[in-house]
């Protein structure tokens, strides 16, 4: 008995951004893998399906031919196609567990809770909001996508592909590491050898690896207050005793450090989230304290690339003569957040241990991604993108500053060298979490400051407004809506 597949299972979404051929192939592959189409079933003829979907017959033919080459479809005769008798991904028959079996009690199985991690909510549909003051999101108009595609194609050249397809074991891409050594780090005043660099899946991966190696239960760690929630969460989960020291307009004050310390975590070039920059004399005092009290410093060189009001000062590690500073950098902030590519710089013995730990977690970041980034950096595209970003962010910074002043909103942080956000202080009694929720009704997205104060149970009056993804023309109206919503929230109840 001949079984035919109805053309009605096919659907074309012309707004999806996915090609017509790809949509046809996806329909067949999904149906085969889900078992909705059985082996041997005949597909609609190319003419019939093309007429039904109102697309070109050659589009259907090419889609079918690609499915044949993949093994999902076979040619029945000169103009007829059917599902292969043994298509890829065929599900094996298996007895299902009985419906009456008791589910696993995972509350008793999970031995460690990560509930201490306070995420900064970022709605996935943020682009539909007209006033997205979100930090860390990108403006695709500033990125050279064609150049990135070209670099990705270069990384797929035969010689590169053979290398990238191999098992790196625990090694990193030599081209990327050499670029970091020769170009990226010297700009920060840092000189390092390849064996002093570990490529990571973003800065957070580097932070976690460093923390696991230097802290344990009973250790003493210091972080900034406020502090990026990922840093504070990593410290709490290590079991260390954590002391949060209030920052001022020059960052973390070294004179306030406690007596017993094993590690200090700082963002000296651009404090997260206030934007304060630690001056050279304070950095020197911090390094002197590290030698005197024998502790390690973990430096997250946060957003140093986005400097347009003043040149960035050298990294803290540039003044490190004894190897006490573990330096963390990232390309994700300066290129695009989904890149998730960072690096850890430390003395060679430390990197050997860090590499061994990383190999237990993920072996190494994807080889093709490393090689693509290496080409993008080496061919000058990275510097061109940064130049474009600095120019545009400078304009948006000035627009934001003027709009905030006109609307009487208070900037709590410092933005002396640039960046992509303002750290804001609302009026006494404001609940920033509530502000965030209610601003969504106005088409506005901002970020509450509460995750940056992990040990505080009081309502937070601070919030962050980024401008990396909002069009400049939308900034004045968006700021005005923030002011109006704050006024409504602060009205006395009648």
Considering the domain architecture, whether residues 334 and 205 belong to the same structural domain is answered as yes
Question: Residue 418: its pLDDT value, please?
Answer: 81
Question: Residue 438: its pLDDT value, please?
Answer: 96
Which of 345, 379, 413 is where one domain is finished? Answer: 379
Which of 320, 346, 379 is where one domain is finished? Answer: 379
Considering the domain architecture, whether residues 286 and 163 belong to the same structural domain is answered as yes
The verdict on residue 43 lying in a domain is yes
Considering the domain architecture, whether residues 328 and 419 belong to the same structural domain is answered as no
pTM for the full predicted model? 0.83
Q: 81 with 73: CB under 8 angstroms?
A: yes
The verdict on residue 302 lying in a domain is yes
Considering the domain architecture, whether residues 67 and 186 belong to the same structural domain is answered as no
Calpha distance 103→470 (Å, rounded): 46
> Across the 494 residues of the chain, what is the mean pLDDT of every consecutive 10-residue run?
80 84 91 86 90 92 92 85 84 58 84 76 88 91 93 90 77 92 93 96 94 95 94 92 94 94 95 91 96 96 81 90 95 84 96 94 87 93 92 94 96 82 95 96 96 84 95 97 96 74
Question: Residue 494: its pLDDT value, please?
Answer: 56
Considering the domain architecture, whether residues 278 and 353 belong to the same structural domain is answered as yes
Question: Residue 2: its pLDDT value, please?
Answer: 74
CATH of the domain at 484: 3.90.1150.10
The verdict on residue 418 lying in a domain is yes
Question: Residue 99: its pLDDT value, please?
Answer: 60
Overall domain count for the chain: 3
Enclosing domain of residue 32 = 7-83
Q: 271 with 415: CB under 8 angstroms?
A: no
Considering the domain architecture, whether residues 467 and 335 belong to the same structural domain is answered as no
CATH of the domain at 289: 3.40.640.10
Considering the domain architecture, whether residues 186 and 318 belong to the same structural domain is answered as yes
Question: Residue 90: its pLDDT value, please?
Answer: 63
Query: Positive or negative CA dihedral for 30, 33, 34, 36?
Result: positive
Considering the domain architecture, whether residues 255 and 326 belong to the same structural domain is answered as yes
Considering the domain architecture, whether residues 332 and 419 belong to the same structural domain is answered as no
Considering the domain architecture, whether residues 132 and 164 belong to the same structural domain is answered as no
Considering the domain architecture, whether residues 204 and 70 belong to the same structural domain is answered as no
């Amino acid at each position: 008995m001949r079984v035919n597949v109805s053309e009605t299972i096919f659907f074309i979404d012309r707004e999806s951004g996915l090609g017509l051929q790809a949509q046809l192939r996806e329909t067949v592959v999904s149906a085969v893998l889900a078992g909705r189409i059985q082996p041997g079933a005949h597909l609609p003829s190319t003419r019939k399906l093309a007429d039904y979907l109102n697309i070109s017959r050659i589009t259907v033919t090419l889609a079918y031919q690609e499915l044949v080459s993949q093994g999902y479809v076979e040619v029945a005769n000169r103009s007829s196609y059917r599902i292969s008798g043994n298509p890829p991904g065929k599900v094996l028959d298996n007895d299902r567990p009985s419906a009456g079996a008791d589910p696993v009690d995972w509350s008793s199985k999970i031995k460690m809770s990560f509930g201490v991690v306070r995420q900064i909510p970022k709605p996935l549909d943020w682009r539909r909001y007209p006033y997205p003051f979100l930090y860390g999101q990108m403006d695709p108009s500033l990125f050279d996508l064609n150049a990135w595609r070209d670099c990705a194609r270069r990384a797929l050249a035969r010689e590169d592909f053979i290398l990238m397809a191999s098992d790196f074991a625990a090694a990193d891409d030599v081209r990327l590491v050499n670029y970091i050594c020769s170009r990226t780090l010297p700009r920060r005043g840092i000189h390092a050898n390849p064996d002093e660099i570990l490529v990571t899946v973003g800065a957070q991966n580097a932070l976690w690896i460093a923390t696991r190696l230097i802290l344990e239960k009973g250790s003493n760690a210091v972080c900034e207050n406020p502090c990026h929630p990922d840093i504070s969460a990593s410290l709490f989960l290590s079991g260390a005793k954590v002391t949060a020291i209030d920052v001022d307009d020059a960052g973390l004050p070294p004179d306030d450090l406690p007596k017993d310390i094993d590690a200090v975590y700082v963002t000296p070039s651009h404090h997260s989230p206030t934007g304060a920059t630690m001056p050279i004399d304070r950095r020197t005092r911090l390094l002197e304290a590290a030698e005197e009290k024998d502790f390690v410093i973990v430096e997250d060189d946060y957003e140093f690339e986005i400097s347009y009001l003043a040149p960035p000062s050298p990294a803290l590690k540039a003044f490190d003569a004894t190897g006490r500073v573990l330096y963390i950098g990232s390309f994700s902030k300066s290129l695009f957040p989904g890149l998730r590519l960072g690096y850890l710089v430390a003395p060679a013995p430390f990197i050997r241990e860090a590499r061994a730990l990383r190999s237990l977690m993920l072996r190494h970041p994807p080889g093709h991604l490393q090689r693509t980034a290496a080409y993008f950096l080496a061919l000058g595209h990275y510097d061109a993108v940064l130049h474009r970003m600095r120019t545009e962010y400078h304009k948006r910074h000035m627009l934001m500053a003027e709009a905030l002043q006109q609307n009487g909103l208070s900037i709590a942080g410092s933005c002396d060298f640039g960046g992509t956000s303002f750290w804001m202080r609302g009026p006494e009694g404001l609940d920033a979490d509530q502000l965030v929720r209610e601003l969504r009704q106005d088409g506005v997205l901002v970020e509450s400051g509460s995750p940056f104060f992990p040990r505080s149970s009081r309502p937070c009056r601070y919030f962050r407004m980024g401008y990396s993804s909002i069009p400049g023309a939308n900034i004045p109206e968006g700021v005005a809506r923030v002011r109006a919503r704050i006024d409504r929230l602060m009205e006395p109840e009648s």
